[in-house]
């Protein structure tokens, strides 16, 4: 389990870091060519936008493992530790169901986009590559949710009191 966790951590963080670096470089080149050279390079803005979409969907799972998602915890903090764990587990199960549904619907969307054969306006890349971010991101988020759910029952009860957010 730890080996799988480390592979998943490394893979996601490398993808996110690379897409962020490439996106920043593309935006820098776009701004430089527009304002210094006087003529903007075509496609840089579009590529940065598509990388940003991938970045968002890949980051959903990291938010669960780092407990970085926003939540309202005024009620859960007042419950006993066992009830807190049970409520968190219930939320994780509901979210897992939603994420699996989104993964399946994203797969259907990608399949439809492949059938349409639509390409992006400037770069002429297949649009299904952009839409593929949806099922991939929610699949990774589902794996992270399973990991977070397992860790919920492994962690010390004293850490639950300090932890705070439900997600």
Q: What is the mean pLDDT of residues 95-123?
A: 96
Angle, CA of 44, 49 and 53, to the nearest 5°: 150
Could you tell me how many residues make up the chain?
Answer: 167
Read off the pLDDT of residues 61-99 as tens digits, 9 standing for 90 and up.
Answer: 888 888 888 887 888 888 999 999 999 999 999 999 999
Contact criterion met (CB below 8 Å) for 120 and 42: no
pLDDT at 37: 87
Token code pair at residue 22 = 């490439």
pLDDT at 149: 92
Closest to 62 in 3D by CA, of 3, 15, 103, 25: 15
CA–CA dist 130, 114 (Å, integer): 11
pLDDT at 106: 97
pLDDT at 154: 86
pLDDT at 56: 94
Is pLDDT of 108 > 80? yes
């Amino acid at each position: 389990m730890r080996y799988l966790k480390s592979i998943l951590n490394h893979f996601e963080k490398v993808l996110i870091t690379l897409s962020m670096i490439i996106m920043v470089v593309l935006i820098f080149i776009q701004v430089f060519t527009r304002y210094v050279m006087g003529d903007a390079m075509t496609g840089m803005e579009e590529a940065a936008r598509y990388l940003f979409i991938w970045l968002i969907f890949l980051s959903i799972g990291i938010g669960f493992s780092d407990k970085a998602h926003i939540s309202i915890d005024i009620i859960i903090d007042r419950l006993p530790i066992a009830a807190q764990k049970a409520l968190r587990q219930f939320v994780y199960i509901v979210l897992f169901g939603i994420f699996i549904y989104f993964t399946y619907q994203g797969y259907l969307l990608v399949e439809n986009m492949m059938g349409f054969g639509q390409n992006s306006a400037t770069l002429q890349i297949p649009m299904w590559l952009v839409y593929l971010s949806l099922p991939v991101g929610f699949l990774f988020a589902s794996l992270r949710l399973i990991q977070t759910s397992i860790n919920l029952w492994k962690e010390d009860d004293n850490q639950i009191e300090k932890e705070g957010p439900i997600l």
